[in-house]
Amino acid sequence: MAYALIALGFVLALNAAGAVNFAHGDLVVLGGALAAFAGAWTGLPSFLLLPLVALGIGLAGILAARIAILPLAARPPEATFVATIALAAIIEQGLTVAMGGAPRSVPPLAGSGTLDLAGLAIGRQPLAIVVLGAGLVAAVWYLLERTQTGRRLRAVAADRAMARAVGIPVTRMVILSLGLAGALAGIAGVVLGHQFLVSPTQGAGHMLKAYIAVALGGWGSVPGALLGALGIGLFETFVAASFGDAWASAALYVAVLAVLALRPQGLFGEPVGRRA
Amino acid sequence: MARLGPFWMILLGLAPLVALAVLPAFGQRMVTLVGVYALMGLGYQLVFGQLGGLNLAQGALFGLGAYAAALAAPSLGPAALLVSVLAAAVPAALVAAPLLRLQSHYFALATLALASLVNLAAVHAEPWTGGANGLAGFASALPRGPLLLAIVWFCLIAGVMTYARVFAGPAGEAARLLREAPLVAATLGIDGGLWRLVAFVAGGALAGLAGGFSAAVSGVVSPEATGFPIMVVCLTSVVLGGTRHPMGAVIGATLAVCLPELMRGLQGAWLLAYAVATLAVVLWAPAGLAGLVDRVLDRPVPAPAPVGLPETVPTLAGPQVLALDGVTKRFGGVEAVAGVSFEVARGEIVGLIGPNGSGKTTLLNVVCGLERADAGRIALDGRRIDALPAHRVARAGIARSFQAPMAPGDTKESDIARAVATGAPFVLLDEPAAGAGERERARLEAFVRRLRDAGRGVVVVDHDIELLSRLCDRLVCLDRGAVIASGTPDRVRADPRVRASFLGSPVEAS
């Protein structure tokens, strides 16, 4: 589910910016780190940290848009790519210096222990993650499909020049998308931070997973990205359970390469057409 | 792209000499490392700088080279460095075919996935790679110290000079077109696939060589050599130095090696400074630091004067007749071109007219191979060309110009001049007069006549029917994809269906 949140943010940023945001994974880590620090400092429980982190990383996303994405809108997508790679390195190194290299833990979302639900013992934490994730996905869906702002966001994603021509404030929409993407990344960071600890070098891994999810699900497709992310999560869990983590990752990469070799347009095709 | 100026030549030649003569062993080691990273970066410039391909596997190829050197050195000695080159170039060539077809963002992902696989293998295939501990104890079989420095810098200087020489000539222009206007490149007969393959494999070979050298420098090879951080340093150093400048990789590598030493007290802070600098360069100095230095040295940046139409047009050998037979192109359910047949001979000007959306440009695209025909045949002297990719159609003898300038710095006239300069016997001109003033129009008219007199076959698409009537030997009128009239200008203009289609009124039954 956390993958789904990361991929969701990634695809929002992708559509708005028209280029891959390589720093997205590091925004996730930044979210985890922020939660860890704030948690250790204030002693607040995670569900109170969540909005704080979402706001903070949302702002970080906007900053990323201002620095590395908007100024390069007129240049080829590779320029944005490189700029965000540099931004990713800045965040990673900044965190390394700030954290001193020691991994941190984020407090749990909903306490530990299990709930007894219809005879099944379900961990409170996983349950809380699923409920939270589903809620956020539903909220983003509502925003995109049922509101005027959502229609504008989709218009910018489909055709930036046309959107500008009909009077949509494109720059504001890009900033909004990146802010939203950042908030989702921050929340995912909090969730993952409890499960796996936070360490500065995880960003590239998160980014790669989101990238894969989006590529498999169809470049730029929001439901495709969600399906892709859930698929990756299940795939990894099952392969890892029977063969170990290394094989799970290897199988995932091989699967991606196979898909790209056989279907260069992604599993479900490209809803928005050529982008590069 | 200019040749390497004297300033850079002296810098490049002096660096290893000074290092050998003056520096202590530690300094020499750093200079060697600069050479190693510069070699990897130089290879990266081929794919990323020249062709704009965001290859994220260069670090992994570097790692492959390093492991190959470590594994082969005990039995082969210094020849292990050649194994390094092969260990990177051969896998690069093997994966190139499916990989290089991908569009930019998928290419980046695929190379990243490949690199991750290599990294996983390095960590987990312990029997061969030594796992996380890596390999050691092989370095005594490889060149070391001053000798290694000399070899590395010899390779680097040779590489930089070759690079500068190659890209100062027509190859540089070809690479620019492939990067900035791939369609134009294809219609000029430039084989983008071959270019990408050569660049990817040559770049990989340089990465492998650099990897082998790095194994010789450090004496240890661990999975870090295949990791993403190396890739990031390679990418950022090339961007920082200048993605296409012959010295870009050298400048970038110098910073990447020296900054950590200068900022030794501050742990990882050098990478932070480095990344900030890279971001700044991307934003404000796209030509990189080497480009900035060029500007400071006031070396005239060659601003290519827009080329006009040539005065003379040579007569050429080659096919005599371009024949279209039942050519059809569908987009979804729409027949954009529906069973079009006509012939064009050398020394003839054929005008293609028709209302907007009647399929004129689509027809040109199909003929020159940018779009594939769904049915029908296109042939030059009876030899079919309708299944060929655009660059082979161009080489078979068909050139074209585009409606709007496609590459930055182009003008309409330079676009036409370039198409004619390919020497193709048949030239397709798409709205050459659109937006042209009175004088340009006259110049163009005279030029197209010169083309005919030199024995070229010309197809002109335009909306200016007066111009086409004066200029053309024959007109072909399209409506909704199909030919509704063809013949001499007078006859076509008198045709009631042509008049109806131009005036937009329905055709009266006659």
In a domain, A91, yes or no: yes
pLDDT tier at A134 (50, 70, 90 boundaries)?
confident
One domain for residues B205 and B343: no
CB contact under 8 A, B105 and A87: no
Is residue B433 situated within a structural domain?
A: yes
Residue B508, pLDDT score: 46
Confidence of residue A103 (pLDDT cuts 50, 70, 90): low
Looking at the domain assignment, is residue A173 inside a domain?
A: yes
The 3-state secondary structure of B202-246, one letter per residue: HHHHHHHHHHHHHHHHHCEECHHHHCHHHHHHHHHHHHHHCCCCC
Q: Which of A63, A212, A219, A256 to mutate to test the interface with B (most CBs of B within 10 A)?
A: A256
- B355 with B251, same domain: the answer is no
In a domain, A90, yes or no: yes
Helix intervals (H) in B317-437 = 360-367, 390-396, 412-421
pTM: 0.85
All residues of chain B having their beta carbon less than 8 Å from the beta carbon of residue A97 are 267-269, 272
Same domain, B349 and B469: yes
Does residue B506 have a pLDDT over 60? no
Residue B181 shares a structural domain with residue B285: yes
Round to whole Å and give the CA distance between B27 and B14.
15
Q: Which residue of A has its CA nearest to B49?
A: A78
| From A106-115, A196-205, B144-153, the region with the lowest mean pLDDT | A106-115
Among A212, A250, A276, whose Cβ lies nearest the Cβ of B103?
A276
- Chain B residues with CB under 8 Å of a chain A CB are 48, 52, 54, 98, 101-106, 108-110, 112-114, 116-117, 120-121, 123-124, 228, 232, 235-236, 239, 267-269, 271-272, 274-276, 278-279, 282-283, 286
Give percent of chain B with pLDDT exceeding 70: 95
Per-residue pLDDT tens for A31-59?
Answer: 888 888 887 777 777 677 788 888 888 88
Q: Which of A15-24, A65-74, B482-491 has the highest mean pLDDT?
A: B482-491
Q: Which of the residues B124, B266, B279, B284 would you substitute to probe the A interface, choosing the one with the greatest number of A C-beta atoms within 10 Å?
A: B279
Judge whether B315 lies within some domain: no
Residues B439 and B487 in one domain: yes
* Residue from the list A90, A212, A256 with its beta carbon closest to the beta carbon of B276: A90
Q: Least CB-CB distance to A79: which of B121, B275, B282? A: B282
Q: Are residues B286 and B325 in the same domain?
A: no
| Cβ pair B279:A76 closer than 8 A | no
**B358 and B228 within one domain:** no
The reply to whether B288 and B388 lie within a common domain is no
Number of domains in chain B: 2
**Residue A185 sits in which domain range?**
2-200
pLDDT at B192 over 70: yes
Does B81 share its domain with B170?
A: yes
Q: Is B477 helix (H, G, I), strand (E, B) or coil?
A: strand
Task: State the residue range of the domain holding B410.
Answer: 321-503
Give the CATH number for residue B339. 3.40.50.300
| A212 within some domain | no
How many Cα atoms occupy the beta-carbon half-sphere of A263 within 13 Å?
14
Report if residue B311 sits inside a domain: no
Domain assignment present for residue B205? The answer is yes
pLDDT for B383 equals 92
Task: Say whether both B271 and B337 belong to one domain.
Answer: no
pLDDT at A276: 32
Residue B488 in domain: yes
Query: Does residue B278 form part of some domain?
Result: yes
Number of domains in chain A: 1
Query: Pick from B460, B458, B439, B440: which is nearest to B450 by CA?
Result: B458
A120: in domain: yes
Inside any domain, residue B304: no
pLDDT of residue B265 exceeding 80: no
Model pLDDT for residues A165-188, shown as the tens digit of each residue: 888 888 888 888 888 888 988 888
At position A82, the amino acid (one-letter code) is: V
| Judgement on whether residues B69 and B139 belong to the same structural domain of the protein | yes
Q: Looking at the partner chain, which of B103, B121, B272 has a beta carbon nearest the beta carbon of A94? A: B272
User: Is A24 a member of any domain?
Assistant: yes
Query: What share of chain A has pLDDT > 90, as a percent?
Result: 0
CA distance A62 to A84: 13
Return the amino acid letter for B335: E
- Lowest-confidence pick of A62-71, B2-11, B263-272: B263-272
Does pLDDT of B266 surpass 70? no
At residue A129, the pLDDT reads 77
B302 inside domain: no
In the prediction, which pLDDT does B204 show?
Answer: 95
Q: For residue B103, which residues of chain A lie inside 8 Å, CB to CB?
A: 264, 274-276
DSSP assignment letter at B37:
H
- For B108, the closest of A71, A81, A253 (CB atoms) is A81
Distance CA A68, CA B276 (A): 11
- Residues of chain B with Cβ-Cβ distance to A264 below 8 Å are 101-103, 106
Q: pLDDT higher for A198 or A119?
A: A198
Return the CATH number at B125. 1.10.3470
